[in-house]
Amino acid sequence: MEHVVNNSPKNRRASAPPPPKPAQQTEPTPKEGHDLATAEEMPAHPIPSDWGTHRRRGETQVASMGKRRSKRKGAFYSKERDGNESPQVRGRSKEENNTVEKQTQSQSRSKAAFTRARHGLLHLVEEDLPSRNQIREEREKLDKQLDKVMGDLEGLSTVCKKRQDTANVRKLSQKIERIEEEFTHAQNRTQEYLDSIKDELSSMASNISQKVRQAQEEMVKVKKKAEQMEASILKEAIQSEKRKVEEYAKKVTELEAGSLQKRDQLINVKEEVKRIQVKIEKD
């Protein structure tokens, strides 16, 4: 009997081999040589649908890093583009690159300001003879610049972590450590200077206090002597005035006595004249 094959659609579907199972997507592992400690510090994010494109672009950046980098832009990202990137990914990458560029420039300015403040403080304690107020002002200026540069470096490090750029994360961590060492050295040098002049300042303060006490004692002596001189002058003036009053009283007494004598003489003359008149009238 001849075997007849039924090629109906139902039989074809039944005889067709089962479709292959979809490949199970596994979470990517860090590349060999990456900083695992840094990778563990990265925040956990769900794997995007275009993760493979990001990974290929990241691998291209790591491979070309050090060969194709400019002084500013190339320091944190590669100029190469993956032609398979979607417009959304390219737009996001451009925005991230602009953010990195701005933060890099801000970090460069704040680092330069920090260096100037540190050199200013060291020059002050090594070359000049500063006061404590001057040192306090320079230390406050250095603290302010340290906060600014650390904020810029931490912000830039956060962006690099989001981009999974572990190489630059390590570089930024090393730069942060160097800045902390420079800051600590400047503060220690300043404290050494303050400690070295502490005894000298204490001795100077003691000498000044002694001189002040001596000056006060001298002022007391001078004041006492002045009071004595003033009392002597006042006494002499009083005695002089007293002598003048006595002399004036004596003259007044003499004048009064002379006046009385003249009055008596006048009375005698009047009586004599009167007596003569009486005598003439009788004659």
The answer to the question of residue 155 being in a domain is: yes
Q: Flag whether 138 is in a domain.
A: yes
Dihedral (C-alpha) 128, 132, 134, 137: value to the nearest 10 degrees?
140
Please give the share of the chain, as a percent, with pLDDT higher than 90. Answer: 13
Residue 47 per-residue DSSP state: P
Residue 43 included in any domain: no
Domain-located, residue 44: no
> Which one, of 102, 175, 122, 113, lies nearest residue 144 by Cα?
113
Q: Is residue 260 part of a domain?
A: no
Query: CA 140, CA 269: separation in Å to the nearest integer?
Result: 111
Please give the Cα distance from 132 to 139 (Å, whole number).
10
Distance set, CA 203 to CA 192, 208, 209, 279 (Å): 18, 9, 10, 113
Residue type at 253 in one-letter notation: T
Instruction: Write out the residue range of the structural domain in which residue 152 sits.
Output: 96-228
Interacting residues of 164 by C-beta distance below 8 A, sequence separation 6+: 39, 42, 58
- Give mean pLDDT, residues 114-126: 89
Query: How many other CB atoms are found less than 10 A from the CB of residue 116?
Result: 13
How many other C-beta atoms are found inside a 10 Å radius of the C-beta of residue 31?
13
The rounded distance, in Å, linking the Cα atoms of 115 and 178 is 12
Q: Is residue 271 within 8 Å of 279, Cβ to Cβ?
A: no
Residues in CB range of 51: below 8 A, 6 or more apart:
28
How far apart, in whole angstroms, are the C-alpha atoms of residue 279 and residue 275? Answer: 6
The per-residue pLDDT for 134 is 87
Q: Angle at the Cα of 52 (from 47 to 53), degrees rounded to 5?
A: 115
Tens of pLDDT, residue by residue over 41-73, are: 334 344 444 444 444 444 444 344 444 444 444
- Split into its structural domains, the chain has a count of 1
- Residue 95: its pLDDT value, please? 78
Give the pair of three-digit tokens for residue 206. 């003691």
Domain membership flag for residue 188: yes
Looking at residue 143, its pLDDT comes to 92
User: pLDDT per residue over 207-230, tens digit each?
Assistant: 888 888 888 888 898 888 888 888
Structure confidence at residue 112 as a pLDDT band (50, 70, 90): very high
Q: What is the DSSP string of 165-178?
A: -HHHHHHHHHHHHH
What is the 3-class SS of 188-220, one letter each residue?
HHHHHHHHHCHHHHHHHHHHHHHHHHHHHHHHH
Average pLDDT, the chain: 72
pLDDT for 102 beyond 80: yes
At 183, phi and psi to the nearest 5? -65, -45
93 residue type, one letter: S
Q: Tens digits of per-residue pLDDT, 262-274? A: 888 888 888 888 8
Residue 24 has pLDDT above 60, yes or no: no
Of residues 246 and 204, more confidently modeled: 246
Residue 96 has pLDDT above 80, yes or no: no
- Comparing 9-18, 112-121, 179-188, which segment has the lowest mean pLDDT? 9-18
* pLDDT value of residue 91: 53
Whole-model pTM? 0.42
For residue 81, being part of any structural domain is answered with no
Q: What average pLDDT does range 77-105 have in this prediction?
A: 62
pLDDT number for residue 18: 52
CB-based contacts of 226-235 (< 8 A; 24+ apart in sequence):
none
- pLDDT at residue 11, as a whole number: 46
Taking only the tens place, the pLDDT of each residue in 138-159 is 999 999 999 999 999 988 888 8
Residue 129: C-alpha distances to residues 14, 42, 44, 138, 194 (Å): 99, 49, 54, 14, 11
pLDDT value of position 142: 92
- The predicted pLDDT at position 46 comes to 41
Asked whether residue 13 is assigned to any structural domain, the reply reads: no
